[in-house]
Structure formats: C-alpha cells, structure tokens
A and B are shown apart, each in its own frame.
Chain A
Amino acid sequence: AQRVTQPEKLLSVFKGAPVELKCNYSYSGSPELFWYVQYSRQRLQLLLRHISRESIKGFTADLNKGETSFHLKKPFAQEEDSAMYYCALSAFHASGGSYIPTFGRGTSLIVHP
C-alpha cells in the first residue's frame, strides 16, 4: 500500500526566507505526485504536479525516486503563501479500477511579515 509522510505539522518562516516543505512517499510502482494547497477560507486546490514540471506561484517540486521524496520549495516566501499544504500520491487500485489519491497529514506554513 502507498503512504505519504509530511514530517512537519507546522513550518514558520519570515517573509523573504526560503521555504522547503518535505514530503516522502512509499510506493512500489511508478508514482504520480501532487501538492495541493488550502488557503484560509478557500477550497483545496491543486498547486502543482510532478508530471507538469512547472513552477506555480514561485513554488517548485522535484521528484527524487532515489530518496522517494517530492519536497516543495520556494526561494523567497511571501505572506500570501501562508496556508495548509498537502502532498498526495495517486496510485492505481486494481480492485476499484481507478487511480486513488492518498494524502499526507499536511503542513501548515506561516509566513511572518
């Protein structure tokens, strides 16, 4: 079975500081990984996915299969980045015949002015 681990419940930084939200996974197959974000009073939404290899709002994430990690990084944090961030892994379930995402426990990022 797949597992997603986000070791930090809370990450607190000052504006302009670099940010790294950690995500490690365990999965025997080829993973599809995502970062979702939930801003205050807003819905959960996709931030980025490893397949796209894009930068969204200054955030990037690289899949490291050797370390089984998908850490989210931003060189200079902004106050508006304060939110809850969830790492997710999507794996195919033969029993259900579909890709089923598993989420980590989430990391709350607080960016102080």
Chain B
Amino acid sequence: NAGVTQTPKFQVLKTGQSMTLQCAQDMNHEYMSWYRQDPGMGLRLIHYSVGAGITDQGEVPNGYNVSRSTTEDFPLRLLSAAPSQTSVYFCASRAVAGANVLTFGAGSRLTVL
C-alpha cells in the first residue's frame, strides 16, 4: 500500500518554463488537495478536488492549474513558472466519509530561477 505518491521529489525550473507535479493515491480517496509550504506561512491550500471531474480553488490558486480525470491522480500544473512559486508542494488525500484526516505525500521541492 503506497499511500500518496508524489513525483518528482526535486525540480529546478527557469522562469517561464512549465511543468507538472504528479500526485497519485491508491486508497480510493475521493478528496485530494495540493498545498504549498513556505517558511513562516505554514501550509496554504492551492486547489482541491472532491472527486473525479470536480475541482475547486483554495487560498492561493493563481499560477496553478489542476484536473481530476481519475480518482487516483491529481496533477498540479505550473504553466509559466515564477520565482514566487519556489516552495515545497504537498499533495494530501482523504476519504470523504469517515474521519476527516489527511494522508500526505512526501513533498516535492521546486526551485524557480
């Protein structure tokens, strides 16, 4: 049981480049979400999804796109990376019913030069 898997673990981009952070879970969780973690700012919600085909914006959605074509996958896209997007990104999931507890991925550290 892998839980929540994020790839890549590390990535360096140049300003203006695009990339996708991958997130997959094998727990059949309906709810999936992306957070960014910055020093002194804690965890801020970027986007979330309550099921396949449904996505919604969180606190800091600008500059990021998401889609949810399957229950298992929730990729986060940066269309034109900016230095302000240098951060550690966490994917988290949970079942919609039952305990309201998030399961986190290991994180993806992104640096934009």
Contact = CB atoms under 8 A, between A and B. Distances in A.
Partners in one complex: yes
Query: Contact residue range for chain B?
Result: 20 to 34
B40 A34 contact: no
Contacts of A43: 104-107
B48 A46 contact: no
A101 B92 CA distance: 11
Nearest to B105: A43
Contacts of A97: 50
Contacts of B50: 96-98
B102 A106 contact: no
A106 to B, nearest CB: 5
A44 B90 contact: yes
Query: Contact residue range for chain A?
Result: 20 to 34
A24 to B, nearest CB: 14
B106 A101 contact: no
Interface of B: 31, 35, 40-45, 48, 50, 56, 58, 90, 92, 96, 99-102, 104-107
Interface of A: 6, 9, 32, 34, 36, 43-46, 49, 86, 90, 95-106
28 contacts: A6-B42, A9-B40, A43-B105, A43-B107, A44-B43, A44-B90, A44-B92, A45-B104, A46-B101, A49-B101, A86-B42, A86-B43, A90-B100, A96-B50, A96-B56, A97-B50, A98-B31, A98-B48, A98-B50, A98-B96, A99-B100, A100-B45, A101-B45, A103-B35, A103-B44, A104-B42, A105-B42, A106-B43
